[in-house]
Amino acid sequence: MTSFISPLAPAEAWRPQLHYSARGNWINDPNGLFYKDGVYHLYYQMNPDDSVWGNMHWGHAVSTDLLRWQELPIALDAEPEGLGYAFSGGAVIDWNNSSGLGDGVNPPIIATYTQHSKDAVQVQSIAYSTDGGKRFVPYAGNPVIANPGLKDFRDPKVVWHEPSQRWVMALVAGDRAHFYTSTNLREWTFASEFGAEHGAHGGVWECPELFSLTCAETGESRWILTISLNPGGPNGGSAMQYFVGQFDGQVFQVEHQDTRWLDFGTDFYAGITWDGLQTMGDERVMIAWMSNWQYANKTPTDSWRGAMSLPRRMALRKVDGHYRVASEPHANLLAARHAGFDWLQDRPLGVGELLSTKELPPVAEIVLQLRWSAAAPVLEWQLINAQGEQLSLVLDAAEASLSLDRRQSGWDQEGFGRAMHAELYATAPGMAELRLFVDRSSIEVFANGGLTCVTSCCFPQSPYSTLQLHLRAGALDAVSAQIYHLE
């Protein structure tokens, strides 16, 4: 690897400022998210002994604003000599103590998770917390769902289904999802299976979640099933797909045949949403692991590995007569804007014209509005550092595509260097809006209200400091750009 010129050690120079990362060691999938008493709880897969995957426990961090996080002690331990390591899952607030595991004072927090034994047998267990989520106690009657004879049988995530007055668990079994129901979170009944003939099947399905969203424009609701897939993503390795449909408390029925990706980047995986936000407009806020199994164990941050994505508010939008899921940056991120300036204001741009600014902060949000009426533009942005390393983002309006190229972005070992291609979904003809969040070792791109998202890690020798804008083809009637320094 080329030398790193930062006065900080390389691993710390790459440590994200906007995104959560643990002080040290390995982390991956977010687990057990819940919100209560003004606090967001984030649990995650953690290896307390090394900076590579293994010996899975549940790490823990909390935040009151989704921006600043406090790391807490491990909340759920592995049981290597018992049912096994604490793999991924979710958590719910058992408001009415349907589980009977509460202390009679506060509603218990019930974690649902997979235990993976030394013999690689995966079963579903629960654990409960009566101290607000600081520590989870494994249920004495575990496992609550035994393994039916499958190698990959894991990642239970639970939601309350109001019409049937039951808890519904989604988990994965190989390359499909299974649904179970319960009235008490301890005893589960198999309800149905989904996925044999739908979606992408290039690898094992992981980390499912089922939840409802209501479209603000139409007032109609749909059930959304999210599934992580590894490998088989649209740009290699890990990725998240989603399905839109109906759910009657037993069976999920999808409304479309095409495969839909929640994020086209290579580094948005295993995302789940917070329970407990039902009192806040029934928000669904998601966070994901920002890495990819193709190279996650080898990224150059030796003392720590793994970070979380920015929190995203999930929304249901109707586009060309079909419902799609949009992932919008959470509104709390606006509070991270420390200073900003208008770089461009309604400026026309001709073919071959190149604009440049060297005022790009090391941690930045870039907001761009584009408008055209004649030939569809092909527009390229380049983020460049002092060493000439660069990230390139290209919007091709005629092809309705968005591409992110990190092959010259910095560290490029382990197959990391690649270009990513995304479908660009328009909200209005002749217009586009993009928000780019640039951190020390990542970029997250949200186009047209989050209908298209591209998330990518990157490890440059020094921060990107120059932004260039180049019109390759077509014409732009107006381009506006605002740049904010984020803290």
Q: What is the pLDDT of residues 403-449, one digit of tens each?
A: 999 999 999 999 999 999 999 999 899 999 999 999 999 999 999 99
Give the tens place of pLDDT for each residue, 305-322. 999 999 999 999 999 999
Residue 173: what pLDDT? 97
Q: What region, left, alpha or beta, does residue 397 occupy, with left being phi > 0 and alpha being psi -120 to 50 degrees?
A: alpha
Residue 351, burial from CB neighbour count under 10 angstroms (0-12, 13-18, 19+): middle
Query: Are 102 and 114 a contacting pair, CB within 8 Å?
Result: no
Tokens of 399: 């092809």
CB-side neighbour CA atoms (13 Å) of 238: 22
For the chain, the first-to-last Cα distance in angstroms comes to 29
Residue 5: what pLDDT? 43
Query: Are 129 and 113 a contacting pair, CB within 8 Å?
Result: no
Q: What region, left, alpha or beta, does residue 7 occupy, with left being phi > 0 and alpha being psi -120 to 50 degrees?
A: alpha
Residue 14: what pLDDT? 97
Strands (E) located in 37-69: 39-47, 57-63
CB-based contacts of 116, cutoff 8 Å, min separation 6: 56, 84, 85, 87, 122, 154
Indicate the average pLDDT of the chain. Answer: 96
CA distance 157 to 220: 24
Give the tens place of pLDDT for each residue, 132-155. 999 999 999 999 999 999 999 999
pLDDT band per the 50, 70, 90 thresholds, residue 7: very low
CA distance 303 to 14: 11
Percent of the chain with pLDDT over 90: 95
Tokens of 372: 């055209």
Give the tens place of pLDDT for each residue, 273-298. 999 998 777 799 999 999 999 999 99
User: Does residue 2 register a pLDDT over 50?
Assistant: no
Q: Which of 476, 486, 466, 474 has the alpha carbon at shortest distance from 343?
A: 466
CA distance 238 to 56: 19
CB-based contacts of 383, cutoff 8 Å, min separation 6: 360, 390, 391, 438, 443, 464, 466, 467
Q: What CATH class has 10-15+22-329? A: mainly beta
What DSSP letter does each residue of 201-252 carry, written as one string?
-SSEEEEEEEEEEE-TTT--EEEEEEEEEES--TTSS-EEEEEEEEE-SS-E
Residue 10: what pLDDT? 72
User: Does residue 6 register a pLDDT over 60?
Assistant: no
334-486, CATH topology level: Jelly Rolls (2.60.120)
User: Does residue 8 register a pLDDT over 60?
Assistant: no
Residue 9: what pLDDT? 61
As a 3-state breakdown, the chain gives helix, strand, coil percent values, each rounded to 5, of: 5, 50, 45
Look at the block and give the residue holding tokens 């909200």: 427
pLDDT band per the 50, 70, 90 thresholds, residue 374: confident
Annotated catalytic residue within 29, 94, 155, 267: 29
Q: Which of 181, 183, 162 has the alpha carbon at shortest distance from 170?
A: 181
Q: Could you confirm whether 29 is annotated as catalytic?
A: yes
User: Does residue 42 register a pLDDT over 80?
Assistant: yes
Residue 282: what pLDDT? 75
Residue 1: what pLDDT? 32
Give the tens place of pLDDT for each residue, 92-126. 999 999 999 999 899 999 999 999 999 999 999 99
Per-domain residue ranges of the chain: 10-15+22-329, 334-486
